[in-house]
Amino acid sequence: MSDHSPTSELDVTVPSVPAKTCKIRIGTNILTSLWAEIEAQFEHLAKFVVTDENLVSAGHLHDLLSSRDVPTFVISPPGETSKNIDTVTAIVEQMEKVYLGRDTVVVALGGGTVGDIAGFAAAIFKRGVPVVQIPTTTVAQADSAVGGKTGVDSSVSKNAFGAFWQPTAVYVDVATLKTLDDRQFRAGLVESVKHAVIADAGYFEFLDENLDAVLSRDCAVLEKLAYYNCQIKARVVEADPTEKNRRRMLNYGHTIGHAVESASGFELLHGEAVAIGMIAAGLIEIQLGLGDRARLSGIRNILERLHVPVSLPKGLDKERLIEIIKHDKKAINRWPKFVLIDKIANVYCQEGQWAVEVGQEVVEKVLDEL
């Protein structure tokens, strides 16, 4: 082995990457006038749209493009089954076939799945091109369109492939929610409840008072909801864009939620499973002396008004849930940490950590009660 002579070692200092701003705009029926704005913002870039069949049949793709001739990839079938690397490959090769290069912006029109797939395709096309997100579901508008998490599933697990790739702009048109089916609409609102519970007591009150207007899809109220959600998400992402610590708070209700979602064979929607996970978190808080039945009742009450499940579906095996929790992607030594609150809008932070240790026996007890 050679000694460490002056010519045997050197450093490459990759310079810092400057801060970047993502603009979010919220409105009602803004879709039809959006393209001109995108053209103006990305004047020198070619455009490529990624959407899915649901958006086409709901008329939203037509509202966005009108009669413009823009190369477009329509994901088919819509939903989780298409969230894989084959779809990303098809998108990238389609972009190449229409001679798109690095001077392209990808425009993602759709729900969380479209945003995840299109964002990831943008992140890896020719080493990365910008992406604009136009979320059209409650879950995407509240959560997934902001923050830059992108990815697709492997045959082994969810989001095995992914990148942090911040959108350059996010446009939220709450009028697109009018065409969303009722179950999707309600399940997606669970992420809004989660935001209120972890970050904003005023928002929790607003939700409680305006839930009927939300459920009747009153656009003025939905705009306020979107603003609350984006503001909370933005604050957390700004503090910790790549989820080293603080951003973990957004996983409230998600550890048991993901396990329940998976154990249900994805018969439960993500938001439905997270609702169960939030109740589980509340029960853990009671076990650990961080919460009480009254607070949990308040949260359960809102979730029940959304008609999402608040207890384990019959037939879900507890042993299997524990096994899945042990395989959680954030698990270290085969057991994950949990995000808990000690009051509404206050995540319990222990020794600077936003996710804390909870013994397996506590979780087992809670699952019995759930």
Closest CA to 31 of 73, 72, 4, 66: 66
Which residue type occupies 291? Answer: G
* Selected range binding its own copies among 9-17, 60-68, 317-325, 346-354, rule: CB under 8 A: 9-17
Q: Give the active site residue among 149, 194, 248, 337.
A: 149
Site size toward its own copies, by CB under 8 A: 78
Q: Which of 74, 163, 213, 322 binds its own copies (CB under 8 A)?
A: 163
Q: Is 28 in the site for its own copies (CB under 8 A)?
A: yes
- CB 220 → its own copies: shortest distance, Å? 9
Find the shortest distance in angstroms from Cβ 359 to its own copies. Answer: 21
- Given the residues 60, 251, 261, 295, the one annotated as active site: 251
- Which member of 25, 62, 68, 307 binds its own copies (CB under 8 A)? 25
Site map for its own copies, 241-260, x if CB under 8 A? xx------------------
- Our CB check for its own copies shows the closer of 2 and 216 to be 2
Active site residue 327: no
Taking the CA atoms of residue 311, residue 316, residue 322 and residue 323 in that order, the dihedral angle to the nearest 10 degrees is -150
Q: Indicate whether 33 belongs to the interface with its own copies (CB under 8 A).
A: yes
Residue 208 has a CB neighbour count (10 Å cut-off) of 14
E strand or H helix at 60, and its extent?
helix 60-65
- Which CB sits closer to its own copies, 32 or 353? 32
Is 161 an interacting residue with respect to its own copies (CB under 8 A)? yes
The neighbouring-strand residues paired with 52 are 75
Note the maximum CA span of the chain: 74
Cα 309 from Cα 85, distance rounded (Å): 32
Residues 187-246 that bind its own copies (CB under 8 A): 223-224, 227, 230-231, 233-234, 237-238, 241-242
For residue 212, give the amino acid letter: D
Smallest gap from residue 338 Cβ to its own copies (A)? 17
Catalytic residue status for 127: yes
Rounded (5°) CA angle 341-344-347: 30
To 10 degrees, what angle do helices 201-215 and 293-305 make?
30
136 binds its own copies (CB under 8 A): no
For its own copies, the closer of residues 182 and 238 by Cβ is 238
Give yes or no for a contact between 136 and 185, defined as CB atoms under 8 angstroms apart. Answer: no
Q: Which is nearer to its own copies, 31 or 290 (CB)?
A: 31
Residue nearer to its own copies on the CB measure, 54 or 113: 113
What tokens appear for 306 in the block?
A: 């959304």
Q: Could you say which residues in the range 322-341 bind its own copies, by CB under 8 A? A: 327, 329-332
Amino acid present at 361: E
255 and 321 Cβ atoms separated by less than 8 Å: no
Find the binding residues for its own copies in span 44-83 (CB under 8 A): none
Q: Across-strand partners of 347?
A: 341
Query: Distance between CA 188 and CA 105 in Å, rounded?
Result: 27
Contact 118, 161 (CB under 8 A): no
Q: Does 314 bind its own copies (CB under 8 A)?
A: no
The answer to whether the beta carbons of residues 256 and 363 sit under 8 Å apart is yes
Rule CB under 8 A: choose which of 124, 211, 213, 362 binds its own copies.
Answer: 124
Residues belonging to the active site: 127, 149, 191, 233, 243, 247, 251, 254, 258, 270
